Amino acid sequence: MNTNWKLPLGLGLLSCITLPVSAAEAPQHWGLGDWGGTRSKLLDQGVDVIVDYVGEGASNVRGGYDHDRSARYTAQWVLGTHLDLQKLLGWHDAEFQMLVTERNGNNLSNDRVSDPRAPQLSSVQEVWGRGQTWRLTQLWYRQKFFDGRFDLKLGRLGVNEDFNSFPCDFQSLSFCSAPIGNVAGDVWYSGPVSQWGVRARYNINEQWQVQIGAYEQNPSNLETNNGFKLSGSGTQGTLVPVEVIWRPNLGSAALPGEYRLGYYHSSANANDVYDDVNGAPMALTGLAPKSRSGKHGGWLMGIQQLTTRNGDASRGLSVFASLTQQDKATSGIESFQNLGLVYKGPFDARPKDDLGLGIARLKVNDAVTKRQKQFNDSSGIDDYDNPLYVPVQHSEYNIELNYGVHVTDWLTLRPNLQYVRHPGGVYEVDNAIVAGVKVQASF
């Protein structure tokens, strides 16, 4: 059994750095305490110090591509600050934020859950990816005008900060962060990657908002040695997302919800997934793919609280769902759907715990499936175990059941069980059962 956990850097370090803080000194919402009252004083003055940690462990209990049981751990540190410039400098309705992230560790999906020739379409450890390195993830200025109706944000941004945004408590990538970024990551760069961009939002009223953004389309920002790159060299186009947001409060209990309808277009050239430069099947000709002038997609998503618990609005059942549809000419994953539920405070003795269940489907573009079959037919290779065989991909399904243990206001442990059907969309790969645990901490 491979025990590649990296505990000294992950949970071991988490335990060590919290030991010097006495129970009397440390308020529950900060693992490192109040620094003798300094941190609370800074916050009152408009300076919020951010030190966050997410760690995710996973083990392949059964099935998958490689039945050799292994355990992997991956983690992310977030360091930075948020400045209330109205408190600090007297600038009305102005904010500034800087975040630096560091990712480390290893992922179970790449060689245990899925065939390395056809990687898992999702991931059983969402915090892994985009290079295990340090990055400047946010560096932005935000200003509101006209009594908060017009909201402008510009600087180094991740698109998911404002568009197609989704909570990230589940460990499976299928239920975390922006769904568009999870299936169209070649053009949609979510955190920890950042790029120069601007977002303009208009608040029609308390429930309705509309927004539009423009972000540099620069693939060089994905490179691990460009985590702090600020120049625009390598820019190939512009990503423009637009979105309508509705935040209703339903019923006599004013139960909150959020619904988003959006569309994006990238002006950067994108490769066709099926046609070659002459419009013929590239799997048969072996020529380079046809270049398309842009890529686009859309989404519809929502989350709604349905019940309260004993009259407590902080507890109760919420449901969520999302649907994304991609440009079939240039997108490897044609569509993505998920749905699920979260119950906060299921037990009176544990009012801040939560229970989550989600199911997702990622459908590979039919043109990609056809191209893969053509390649195998033209090469005369039909043996899946032949290294030159191209695995044929269809749809992948992901299910996660988790329970969030609210240890303190700064620490949540979330054991989970995941089921991956057809990892990578490949029928020949056994369905996988994965046991995991997610650590979420704020120091």
Full set of structural domains in the chain with CATH: 2-442 (2.40.160.180)
Main-chain phi, psi angles of 277, to 5 degrees:
-60, -20
Task: Express each pLDDT in 300-322 by its tens digit.
Answer: 999 999 999 988 999 999 999 99
pLDDT, one tens digit per residue, over 71-89 is 999 999 999 999 999 999 9
DSSP string, 140-195: EEEEEETTTTEEEEEEEE-GGGTSS-----SSSGGGSS-HHHHH-TTT---TT--E
Task: Give alpha helix (H) positions in 2-141.
Answer: 11-18, 38-44, 85-89
Confidence of residue 125 (pLDDT cuts 50, 70, 90): very high
Q: Which amino acid is at 131?
A: G
- C-alpha 379/C-alpha 390 separation (Å) is 10
pLDDT digits (tens, 9 = 90+) for 376-427: 999 999 999 999 999 999 999 999 999 999 999 999 999 999 999 999 999 9
pLDDT for 345: 96
Q: Give pLDDT, residue 9.
A: 36
Nearest to 322 by CA among 295, 359, 354: 359
Task: Name the DSSP letter for residue 110.
Answer: I
Asked whether the beta carbons of 220 and 196 are under 8 A apart, the reply is no
Q: For residue 7, what pLDDT is reported?
A: 39
Query: How many angstroms separate the CA atoms of 405 and 411, rounded?
Result: 9
pLDDT tens by residue, 264-280: 999 999 999 999 999 99
pLDDT for the residue 182 = 87
Average pLDDT, the chain: 92
| pTM for this entry | 0.90
Residue 18: pLDDT over 60: no
How big, in percent rounded to 5, are the helix, strand and coil portions of the chain?
Answer: 15, 45, 40
Q: Is the pLDDT of residue 26 over 80?
A: no
